[in-house]
Structure 1
Amino acid sequence: MTNWLPDISTGAGPVYLRLADSIETAISSGHLPPGTKLPPQRNLAFDIGVTIGTISRAYALVHERGLVAGEVGRGTYVLDRPEGRPVEQTDPITQALAGTRGLDVPGDKIRFDTTAAPDVGQGEIIGQLLGDISREHRLEISSYSRSFPASWFLAGQAWLSRNDWQPAVESVVPTLGAHAAAVAIISAVTSPGDKIVFENLTYTQVSRATRLLGRRSVLVESDEQGVIPDDFERLCQQQHPRLAFLMPTAHNPTLATMPEERRRAIADIARRHSVWLIEDDIYGSLTEDPTPLMASIAPERTFLVGGLSKSVTAGVRGGWVACPPHFAQRIKVTHKMTTGGMPFILAETGARLVLGGHALALRRRSVEEIRAREKLARETLAGFEFTSHPHVPFLWLKLPEPWLSGTFKNAAVAEGVLVDDEDEFKAARMDRTYHRVRVAFSSPQDRAEVAAGFTALRGLLENGSAGYDSHV
């Protein structure tokens, strides 16, 4: 153990980055020689007057730079770095955009940090479709997609239809997945400087893309039933947002589903304040929830986004958006400008999956597999608090004392499991702490791997003392 304390009074960037730079400087100068144990996170946080989350992020960053390593319960130690070995630098701007997942994923970890559709035999079906498309459309796959076949729109109409509601085929636009659809919508109906409403916790890949586009994020309060209408009203009156990004059914990561009465209240507020709505139904389509879609309640201002990634196949990048009247062409053009356009082979494969009945069959098989894995989670993690849905491929786990979200994530990495801490889902900086992590379980190859991951997490949850001194 060392009595060294970092100097965070100088340097640029957020505190965690200055702290990481100070640790690196001390290692380079010899003040922290190889084998030195860094102060426990909780102690260092107290000594320099910052939160333990700040310490956790700084330790994670110097670990990514290859400067330290450790084990849960033992602490963090300075590595012996041979002369001439380069130190991997992390660009803080890139890290801010990438979120807490980082850019490089170790190949030997259990992937509980992604919700791509489980492997239920898609490869054989997609391989056959690709062969058929290659033979039947040799010219199309060797050129750009300048005109879209009618089948691409019909597939989107079929896939987005739910709960006795069906979009008009002329309102449908094929996209490179749900994310690309949301970015195209934001680009098309808002301007730089406009404010976009996000829930405190949300799918932050869209909120980060919003910042890249020069738009500003504003946060609306939510509870166990989704967005709170009174706070949405307040936000519209005070901030005058242009658009709101919502996940009314099976919200990511909380799994909240907004009841019909609240959806109608949100739609009414959006009408009165001229706010566009994006309804992300990427998980909702898995749930069989009967609540009317926002798109059916407020079709004149709602863009309904859906795709194949969570229930059929993520690699095909199949997605569609159903637009309010007269907006389809604008979204189609904007999508092309922001993505480069639809690759024929991917769009055609997505359409054939849907229109040939393969997508529905694969979704049923995916739901069956998700249901079995969610049951395994309830059995293995019995006694701990979490929210789950039998058709949705993740759970929202409440951490017992003394675990913090970032510390638990780092400890899980040391145990060979990748999970997402709560910061991954915060649309903007906030003081609120939820003490939760999202555990996704659709990507591991089989249930044995899933069970091993849940068992490892349970071991951490039961070993609360590890939460005081996680190593990265």
Structure 2
Amino acid sequence: MTNWLPDLSSGSGPLYLRLADKAEADIASGALPAGRKLPPQRDLAYDIGVTIGTVGRAYSLLRERGLVNGEVGRGTYVLEREADKSPAVAPVLAHSGDSTRHLDAPAGKLRFDSTAAPDIGQSAAIAELLSTIMREHPGEMASYTRTFPDHWSEAGANWLSRNGFRPDPGGIVPTLGVHAAVMSVIAALTVPGDYIVYEHVTYAQLARSAGLIGRRAAMVEVDAQGLDPEDFERVCAQKHPRMAFVMPTAQNPTVASMPGERRAELVRIARAYNVLLIEDDLYGAMAEDATPLLTELAPERTFLVGGLSKAVSAGVRGGWVACPQHYRHRVRVAHKMLTGGMPFLLAELGARLVLSGAARDIRTRALDEVNARLAIVRTALDGYDYRMEPNIPFIWIALPEPWLSGTFKQAAYEAGVLIDDEDEFKAGRSDKSFHRVRIGISAPKSREDVTRGLATLRRLLDEGRAGYDSFG
């Protein structure tokens, strides 16, 4: 057992990254030689004054770098370093029909930490459209995109339409996915120092990205029906945010959907405090929800974003934002400044997928596959407290005592399954605990893999910590 006690007082970045980098440096220098056992997570966390989750993430990162190996019941040991040794995160080739798919999951792990569209053979339709575009527009492949054809906006208006509502094509901006759409709105209409409201758990990559350009996060409580209006008004009164990012339908990761009355209250508060709204309908467009969109209730201040990643293909990077028309030009310019510009090939591909009907056909088949996998979830996790909705490719499951979110994620990793703990979705530092994890079911290549991965998670849930001792 080593008495290794790293000094984290220097360096930058998150503590888990600094801890992993320090361990890597000590392994390279020989201070941690091959075969040396690292301290148990709980012991090291106590000794250096961090959480056990921080140490767990650092050890996980070291395994991904190919520097250590963890064995249940024995501990974590430094691996022998060989000049020609293959990395721990090795490319995995998986066959899907007649094509070959490149998966970036660590070798031997099942990926339940993604909610991208399942592989249902959409590559054939995409390949055909790509071939046609290349043939019809050879000149566009050799230059930058300088024009935005009307049909790109028409496609966005079609894709963002639901329940009889259709946004005005004149306010549509094509984007490199939903993340780029949201960041473009933030960059265009806020300034460094502005507060942006996020639900307490949400797609937190946006908060981190906005933080890089100087925007501050203000977190609002959530419950079983989504964002809490009373807490939203408190935050508006105290911090005077410029903007709020919300997911009213099938919120990620809680799967919550706001009822109409709550949406109306949110709009009332936003108007009273002059807060702009970004409405992420990426999952909402997949859900069976007839509740009016925020953009229908407050068209003058709402930016509706959506894309193809969850229902058609994440690799296409197809996205659109429907803006109040007087903001459209500013958002388009911001998108160009942030991304370098919209590639003709991807914009045209996204538009043709939608306008040809191929995207809706793929979505229908993808949702059929998602629902078949959700049926497996119902059987595999029967008796546990989890939230799920038809068509939505993830669940939000409560962990039984004594599991903590980060510890369960680590145990799942050791057992061969990648999932997301609650910290992945927190928009900022928080002492609030949900004791839940998100399990995505769209990435495994087959239903058999879904069944196998869920069986592993079920075993961990059933056995509790008594069946898991990660680092001795």
- 2:428 equivalent to 1:434: no
* Unaligned residue ranges in structure 2 (runs of 5+): 89-103
> What is the CA deviation profile of residues 96-155 of structure 1, one whole-angstrom value per residue up to 9, with x for unaligned ones?
xxxxxxxx7425422211111112221111111112212222223332221111111111
| Residue matched to 2:460 | 460
Aligned in 2, Cα 1:24/1:263: closer, same or farther, shift over 3 Å? same
1:63-462 correspondence to structure 2 within 5 Å: 63-81=63-81, 105-462=105-462
Instruction: Report deviation, 1:305.
Output: 0.1
Instruction: Report deviation, 1:428.
Output: 0.5
> What is the CA deviation profile of residues 298-345 of structure 1, one whole-angstrom value per residue up to 9, with x for unaligned ones?
110000000111001111111111111311122112111111111112
Task: Please tell me the residue identity of whatever aligns with 1:236.
Answer: C
Describe the SS at the equivalent of 1:206: helix
Task: Please tell me the residue identity of whatever aligns with 1:419.
Answer: I
Give the distance between the partners of 2:61 and 2:369, measured in 1 at CA.
36
Instruction: Report deviation, 1:45.
Output: 3.8
| Contact 2:288–2:390 under 8 Å retained in 1 | no
- TM-score if structure 1 supplies the norm length? 0.89
> What is the CA deviation profile of residues 162-209 of structure 1, one whole-angstrom value per residue up to 9, with x for unaligned ones?
122111111111111111100100011111111111111111121111
Task: Please tell me the residue identity of whatever aligns with 1:341.
Answer: G
| Residue matched to 2:54 | 54
Instruction: Report deviation, 1:40.
Output: 3.0
| Contact 1:243–1:277 under 8 Å retained in 2 | yes
| Contact 1:20–1:58 under 8 Å retained in 2 | yes
Instruction: Report deviation, 1:29.
Output: 7.4
> What is the CA deviation profile of residues 230-272 of structure 1, one whole-angstrom value per residue up to 9, with x for unaligned ones?
1111111110111101011000011110111111111111111
Aligned in 2, Cα 1:348/1:54: closer, same or farther, shift over 3 Å? closer
Instruction: Report deviation, 1:470.
Output: 2.1
| Contact 2:72–2:468 under 8 Å retained in 1 | no
Q: Percent identity?
A: 58
Give the distance between the partners of 1:376 and 1:303, measured in 2 at CA.
36
Task: Please tell me the residue identity of whatever aligns with 1:346.
Answer: L
Task: Please tell me the residue identity of whatever aligns with 1:249.
Answer: T
Aligned in 2, Cα 1:16/1:170: closer, same or farther, shift over 3 Å? closer
Task: Please tell me the residue identity of whatever aligns with 1:446.
Answer: S
| Contact 1:152–1:348 under 8 Å retained in 2 | yes
Aligned in 2, Cα 1:15/1:189: closer, same or farther, shift over 3 Å? closer
Give the distance between the partners of 2:119 and 2:250, measured in 1 at CA.
21
Give the distance between the partners of 2:84 and 2:135, measured in 1 at CA.
53
Q: Figure out how many residues of one structure are paired with residues of the other and give that number.
A: 456
Higher mean C-alpha displacement, 50-59 vs 125-134: 50-59
Aligned in 2, Cα 1:57/1:290: closer, same or farther, shift over 3 Å? same
* Unaligned residue ranges in structure 1 (runs of 5+): 89-103
Aligned in 2, Cα 1:382/1:145: closer, same or farther, shift over 3 Å? same
Instruction: Report deviation, 1:210.
Output: 0.2
Instruction: Report deviation, 1:24.
Output: 5.6
Give the distance between the partners of 1:31 and 1:467, measured in 2 at CA.
33
Task: Please tell me the residue identity of whatever aligns with 2:344.
Answer: F
| Contact 2:5–2:44 under 8 Å retained in 1 | no
Instruction: Report deviation, 1:48.
Output: 5.4
Aligned in 2, Cα 1:142/1:401: closer, same or farther, shift over 3 Å? same
